[in-house]
Amino acid sequence: MSYSEKVLDHYEHPRNVGSLEKSDAQVGTGMVGAPACGDVMKLQIKVGKDGIIEDAKFKTYGCGSAIASSSLVTEWVKGKTVDEALQIKNSQIAEELALPPVKIHCSILAEDAIKAAVHDYKSKHGAVLEAPACRENCKG
Amino acid sequence: MSVPGFQQDFFQLFGLPASYRLDNALLEQHYHALQEQIHPDKFSHLSEAERRVSMQWSARVNEAYQTLSNPARRARYLLSLHGVDSQEETNTAMPADFLMEQMEWREAIEEARQARDIAELDKLESRLQHELHGLEAQLADKIDIARDYAAAAGSVRKLKFMERLAEEIASAFDAIDT
C-alpha cells in the first residue's frame, strides 16, 4: 500500500497527540472504533466560553490513514465553533489526504469521532443551556 | 456422481444444524468427506462442463468450511441467514467502556512490545483467550437461545476488535523474536 505524502506527513509528525481532562466541563470526548479493522480512536475538544474550539487532542490505534485522518481533523476543528466542527465531512478528509477507496472508513471514523466529541460536550451543557430557554419559550 | 444442491446454505451443505455452537470434529469430518466426494481429479474422465461444475463445487465447499470454522465469520453468516447485517463496515459507535478497554489493551500491548516483555505478552494473550471464550459464550446465547440477532451483531463487532488484539499480540511476539 502506498500512502500519499500528506498521509505520511501526518503519520510521521502527528499533530495534537495526547489527552485532555475528560471530566473537565469544557472538554468533549469522542471514542469510536471500526470493527472491520479493529482501529480505535479517541478525539477530544476543549471549548472556550465563546463556543470556539480552542484545543483538540487525539489518540488513535490504527493504520497510517486512521492516524493521519484524526491528526488532520484536530487541526481543522481548532478555531471553529462546535456546530462548524459538525459540518466536517469524511469526504473532505479523504480528499485532503488522497485516501484510496479501501481507506475511506478511516475518514468516516474521524468524522464520527468529531461528532461524538461534540455530542459529549453538548450533553455536558445541554441540561444547563437548553432547559431554561425552553422554560421561557414554552410559557406562552 | 451426486453433489449437494446449490441452493443449500453452508450448514445444510455439511449436514449440520444452523447454530453458533458447532461440533468442530463433525465439521472437519463432513468437510473431508465432501472434499473426497467432489475432488476435481475424480472427474478427469468427465466432460469439461462437468469438470467445471465439480470445480465450482470444490470452491463452494472450501468457502463454506472457511466460513463455518471461524467464529466471527460463522456468526456473521448466521446473522445474514436471518437478514441481519453485522455492520462491521459502517457502525463506529461501540459502547464507550468497550472502546476504553480497547485503548487500554492496545497501550498494554504496545508497552510490552517496546519493553520486549515476553512474560507480559504471555499474560495478555491468556487474558485475551479468556475474554474471547466469554464473548463466544455470549454469542452462542444470543444466537442459539435468545435468537436476538441485533444484539448478536454487537457481539460480532466486539469479536472483530478482539481478533485484532490477537493479531497485535502475535505481531509483538514476532517483533521481539527478530
Residue B56: what pLDDT? 86
Domain edges within chain B: 10-69, 96-177
Query: Can you give the pLDDT at residue B52?
Result: 83
CATH of domain B10-69: 1.10.287.110
Q: Cα(B25)–Cα(B16) distance, rounded to whole angstroms?
A: 11
* pLDDT tens digits along A58-96: 999 988 999 999 999 999 999 999 999 999 999 999 999
Q: How remote is the C-alpha of B31 from its chain's centroid?
A: 16
Residue numbers in A near B98 (CB within 8 A): 33
pLDDT for position A131: 43
Closest Cβ opposite residue B103 in set A35, A42, A113: A42
Over the stretch B36-73, which tens digit does the pLDDT of each residue have? 887 766 767 778 888 888 888 889 999 999 999 999 99
Give me the pLDDT at residue B6, please: 67
Average pLDDT over residues B85-104: 89
Chain A residues within 8 A of B104 when measuring between CB atoms: none
- pTM of the predicted model as reported, rounded to 2 decimal places: 0.79
Rounded CA separation A86/B158 (Å): 27
Categorize the per-residue pLDDT at A117 as very low, low, confident or very high, splitting at 50, 70 and 90. very high
3-state secondary structure chain A: CCCCHHHHHHHHCCCCECCCCCCCCCEEEEEEEECCCCEEEEEEEEECCCCEEEEEEEEEECCHHHHHHHHHHHHHHCCCEHHHHHCCCHHHHHHHHCCCHHHHHHHHHHHHHHHHHHHHHHHHHHHHHHHHHHHHHHHC
Q: Is the pLDDT of residue B91 over 70?
A: yes
Using an 8 Å Cβ cutoff, are A35 and A14 in contact? no
The predicted-structure confidence for B127-157, as pLDDT tens digits, reads as follows 999 999 999 999 999 999 999 999 999 999 9
Residue-level pLDDT at B140: 96
- Same topology, domains B10-69 and B96-177? Answer is no
A66: closest CA of chain B, how far (Å): 13
**pLDDT score recorded for residue B3:** 52
Query: Does pLDDT of A135 surpass 60?
Result: no
| Residue A34 forms contact with B (CB below 8 Å) | yes
| Sign of CA pseudo-dihedral B63, B65, B66, B72 | positive
What is the domain class of B96-177 according to CATH? mainly alpha
Residue with cell 455452537: B21
Query: For the complex shown, is ipTM > 0.95?
Result: no
Lowest mean pLDDT among A2-16, A71-85, B117-131: A2-16
Strand partners, A58: A17, A43
Q: Which chain B residues contact residue A34 at CB under 8 A? A: 92
- Per the prediction, chain B carries an average pLDDT of 90
